[in-house]
Structure 1
């Protein structure tokens, strides 16, 4: 089964997307600490491979990951696919979770955070 999702966006929404994303400079290295980060998750493929073997969580999709630093106006884009975001502490302060206009899931965190990436993204409030 192929799942597709298309949304008609108003011209004002397209203008908004263009203006938002052009404000950020892409960086190659994830900063040690980010204040009030914004995480975008873009679903890309199933965690079952073509041979039917499970390569990740059974109930998840692999996704591309972008982490925005709104203070420095930078964005870090992961070079691999991930299948989860795992809080590495009990004190994660979520400001908002939204379906963003580019069809990503957007998670806004309040506070200072550090991240480590493997198959899953680990999030630790500092």
Structure 2
């Protein structure tokens, strides 16, 4: 094969090798971004879980205080989502939604409605599933 004919073949091989290398770099970057997102999601969930449990216990005695705590924890979860993307963000969004549902129930009770224990139980179940979703994904 003449050098002129070999040059295009060498260029094709080089381009293919470069593209494969870029894919590896892209995968590595995506992996690091996912690890960082999971770290944020996991730490946030771990940080608020106990506080959510405490606020739920408080709904019967002081539903307005429980509502404020739960709304604040939902805000923390919402803020944590702003710096991440992908599936970790979606999982964190599900936790925030469940905490928001609990805050709504506490707010209803604070406005004088009877405490809907079945709705609170459902919201707690949703929260547990959402927390497990973060932990399983990450």
Q: Same fold (TM over 0.5)?
A: no
Q: Normalising by the residue count of structure 1, what TM-score does the alignment of the two structures yield?
A: 0.27
Q: Normalising by the residue count of structure 2, what TM-score does the alignment of the two structures yield?
A: 0.26
Q: Which has the higher helix share?
A: 2
Larger Rg: 2
Q: Which has the higher strand share?
A: 1
